[in-house]
Every structure is written in structure tokens, then in C-alpha cells.
Amino acid sequence: MGEVPAFCVDNLQNGFSNGFNLKSEGCETSTNVGDKTFVIGGLNDGSTSSIGVRIYEKSTGKWVIPTVLGTKPKPCKGHSAVLLSEDQILIITRGSTPDDCIWFLEVNTKYVKEQKKVLGTEVVAWSKGVRGDAEKPVVISGPSGVGKGTLINMLMKEFPSMCGFSVSHTTRAPRDKEKNGVHYHFTERSVMEKDIKYGKFLEFASVHGNLYGTSIEAVEAVADSGKRCILDIDVQGARSVRASSLDAIFIFICPPSMKELEERLRARGTETEEQILKRLRNAEAEIEQGKSSGIFDHILYNDNLEECYKNLKGLLGLDGIAPTNYKPSPRGIDLPLDHSVLKIDNKILINCETRESGNGSKNLIALDVSLLKGGAPGRTRGLNVYAIDSFSDGFDGIHKLS
């Protein structure tokens, strides 16, 4: 039991009716969602505060510490919180890098509700805001030995600045030349089972007798590097991802025949005879499901490797792109130390009183949140950011920043 704290943050200043002003040493915000108050922020070491979450339940008068899923924002110099819907709270962190200042705390989305059931606790989930329409992640599935890894390696080699591999966890032993953290995170079964229980995985499955799984962190790490995330996972995993909120493209790779698949597996020479037979038995069911389950958007036959690779590039819109010409577009804005926030429909207006604006002119930054996609587990994409210059005597102009 406890009391609602006295917040360091002064809200309702400058005539803004639903924002928070960060001129004070703000370290906590409170946002009401239904009969709960989400208190975000916390421990302040004088220069930065970590972003913890507590929930005050008005009906019971009790404080609850929720399970917090997803990578949370780094400690920052304060933040603003704006209720976007009954599902999520927008957080703008102060003093963060331009690409790391917009976050979403999901409090009642589909994913959060599912996790509440699984974990039996109160749950909230962080999702970082990504500007513009980042390319969708790509899920590549197919039976063992069909050539998924070979095709993915070709993509990584040709498009190193565009494609990033989601490094899975597995309980199987490393093969010769496989490196921990590069090909897989090789993990003890007990550790992986515990992490699964704590909701760290986007999906996991028992495949050919071992546990395999994609951690939320693995997908986020690729998104953070500004690259398109490529996942190599089995059909069960693809089904789980399809059911999640990760908006991806699903591609199934088929062998020309079972005979050819067997020859490739044997020629690879990485499995014991017993393992090869197990993988071939599983392959029949996987091919059946790959073709008929409706999980996959595209099926590619890997008969001739070069042709299959060309078709894969075609599906990903990479055909004809000269890799050396590609440069990620620089984008982003620095949120000034002093700002306040107002929500109007699907726009969030950030009133920036920069130190240079001693002449009374102000700058407005507008976040358009009408086209948001994705969300936890993973990033929230589709955020558009605009600058509206000098509005003391009227608007000078609107510039899209992303």
C-alpha cells in the first residue's frame, strides 16, 4: 500500500492542457489509464534518471511493480509522457540521441495482454519508436539442408549495410567454425528455459531435439543498427512470429526433391547419421506445412542457387540495387533540454524553447503518430517527425524530418 508520489514534474504549464514541462528537474511522470496510474521514471543520480515503472491501482489503493518486457530506454535527463490511447504511453526522453528519444510504453496492447496471461503478473512492454517506414523484417524458413543459411550469407555479403542477421539462441552444440554470438548464442537449456519463462523470446521451438529461439533483443539489435532484420527459423517459429505483432515478410525455401535435400545434408557433413535421418523425417512435415499452412507469403525453390538468390533479391526489392550506392539517410532531430508537450488528435506537438530563442520566437516539433505499425515485441515504426519553424508571428514553414 502507498500513496501517489509528489511528482517533480510540473504539468499544465504554458497553457498546455495535457503535457508536462521539463524545465524542472523532472524525474517521474504519472499517466492515468483507466483505474491505474503509471508512474514512470525514478532513481535520479543527479544527472540522469533510470526509467522504472510502477503502477498505482486506484481501486485497491495498492502499488504494483510490473514485469517490464523489452529493452528499456537508457537513463536520461528526464522525460515527457503522453497518453496516446488506452493501450500505450508515448515517452520522449531528454538529452538522448535523436534516434533514441522516442519510446512507447505498452500497457494494454494485445502482446501485453498475452504476456499477462502467460506470466500471471502485471506486465508493461517497451518499444522504441523508429522514424519513417523501416523495411519489414524477413522470416526465412525451410527444411534443414535446403540452403537457407547459404542464401542469407549471400545477402549479408552483398548488402552488409542493409541486411542484419537475427542471431538466435540454441541449446545444440556448436559445429566446427561456428562462433558464439555470430552464428548462434549457444546456451544451456536451463538458462534458455528460464529466459523463455521471463518473456525474453519473440518465439522459440524444439527443433530436431534441441531448443531454438529468437530473443526480442536479437531483433531489436538489428533494428537499432538501421538494417533490415533477417530471421532463419523453422516453420513452428514462423507460425509464432506470424501470430505476433512483428510485421514481417515470410518466405519458405523448398528443395527440388527429397533426394537432393538428403545429398546436400550428407555433403555438408555436419550431422551424425542419426541426426541426418531425424532432419529428413522432419523435412517432409515441414515442406507439407510450408506449402499449405498459409503462413508464408512466398515459396522459392532452391534448385539452382544463383537463380534462387536472384528471386529472393527480387522479393526483397534488392534486384538491381548497387550495394555500394546505398547509404542510410541521415535523419533525426535533437530534442532541446527545455520542451513541453501537447497532444492534438494524432499529432504530438513539442514546444521547444531553445536557449537561442531569446527573441520570443519558438520552434514546434510535430510527431505524427497516425501511421504507427509494429510495436512490442520489437520496434514501433512509421513515426513521422516535422519541424514547424518560428511561430511567434505565424508559421514560416513545415519541414519533414524523417
Ligand X SMILES: Nc1ncnc2c1ncn2[C@@H]1O[C@H](COP(=O)(O)OP(=O)(O)OP(=O)(O)O)[C@@H](O)[C@H]1O
Residue with the shortest CB distance to ligand LQESDW3C? 237
Segment interacting with ligand LQESDW3C, rule: CB under 6 A, options 87-95, 122-130, 206-214, 337-345: 206-214
Nearest to ligand X of 280, 401 (CB atom): 280
Taking CA atoms, 217 is separated from 125, 185, 319, 374, in Å, by 13, 12, 29, 15
The C-alpha atoms of residue 134 and residue 138 are separated, in whole angstroms, by 12
In 42-170, beta strands by DSSP E: 52-57, 62-64, 67-69, 79-83, 88-93, 102-106, 123-131, 138-141, 163-165, 168-170
Query: 249 is written with which cell numbers?
Result: 515478410
Q: Is 150 in the site for ligand X (CB under 6 A)?
A: yes
Cα→Cα distances 394→354, 364, 388, 391, Å: 18, 12, 10, 5
Nearer to ligand X, 244 or 302 (CB): 302
For 218, residues 6+ apart whose C-beta sits below 8 A from its C-beta are 166, 167, 168, 169, 185
Q: Which does 377 bind (CB under 5 to 8 A by kind): ligand LQESDW3C, ligand X, none?
A: none
Give whichever of 112 and 216 is closer to ligand LQESDW3C, judged by the CB atom: 216
Task: Show contacts with ligand X in window 293-332 (CB under 6 A).
Answer: 302, 305
- Binding ligand LQESDW3C (rule: CB under 6 A), the pick from 56, 159, 212, 386 is 212
Query: Left (φ > 0), alpha (ψ -120 to 50) or beta: where does 58 sit?
Result: alpha
Q: Which amino acid is at 313?
A: K
CB of 152 to ligand LQESDW3C, least distance (A): 10
Binding ligand LQESDW3C by CB under 6 A: which of 214, 245, 289, 380? Answer: 214
Comparing CA positions, the residue from 88, 67, 90 lying closest to residue 80 is 90
Q: For ligand X, which stretch binds (CB under 6 A), given 22-30, 39-47, 140-148, 185-193?
A: 140-148
Binding of residue 148 to ligand X (CB under 6 A) = yes
In angstroms, the CA 106 to CA 123 distance is: 9
The residues that are catalytic are 175, 268, 279
User: Given the rule CB under 6 A, which of 30-38, 52-60, 91-99, 199-207 is the region that contacts ligand LQESDW3C?
Assistant: 199-207
Q: What is the DSSP string of 365-394?
A: EEEE-TT-EE-SSS-EEEEEEEEE---SSS
Q: Is 144 among the residues that bind ligand LQESDW3C (CB under 6 A)?
A: yes
Q: Binding to ligand LQESDW3C by residue 77, rule CB under 6 A?
A: no
Tell me whether strands 62-64 and 363-368 are parallel, antiparallel or unpaired: unpaired
CB of 313 to ligand X, least distance (A): 15
Is 264 a binding residue for ligand X by CB under 6 A? The answer is yes
Q: Which of ligand LQESDW3C, ligand X, none has residue 244 at its interface (CB below 5 to 8 Å by kind)?
A: none
- Find how far residue 204's CA is from the centre of its chain: 17
Residue 253 or 333 with smaller CB distance to ligand LQESDW3C? 253
Q: Which does 146 bind (CB under 5 to 8 A by kind): ligand LQESDW3C, ligand X, none?
A: ligand X
Q: Which residues pair with residue 331 across a beta bridge?
A: none
Q: In 179-290, where do the E strands start and end?
A: 184-186, 201-207, 210-215, 228-232, 249-254
Q: Which of positions 228-267 make contact with ligand LQESDW3C (CB under 6 A)?
A: 232-234, 236-237
The alpha carbon dihedral of 9, 15, 18, 22 has a sign of: negative
Q: Choose among 25, 23, 53, 22: nearest CA to 37.
A: 53
Considering the complex, state which of residue 135 and residue 178 has its C-beta at the smaller distance from ligand X.
Answer: 178
Is residue 331 part of the contact set for ligand LQESDW3C (CB under 6 A)?
A: no
| Amino acid symbol at 183 | H
Do residues 152 and 140 make contact, with C-beta atoms less than 8 angstroms apart?
yes
Write each residue from 162 to 191 as x if it is in contact with ligand LQESDW3C (CB under 6 A), else as -, in one continuous string.
Answer: ------x---x-------------------
**Which does residue 212 touch among ligand X, ligand LQESDW3C, none (CB within 5 to 8 A, set by kind)?**
ligand LQESDW3C
Binding site for ligand X (CB under 6 A): 142, 144-150, 264, 267-268, 302, 305
Binding site for ligand LQESDW3C (CB under 6 A): 144, 148, 168, 172, 203, 205, 207-208, 212-214, 232-234, 236-237
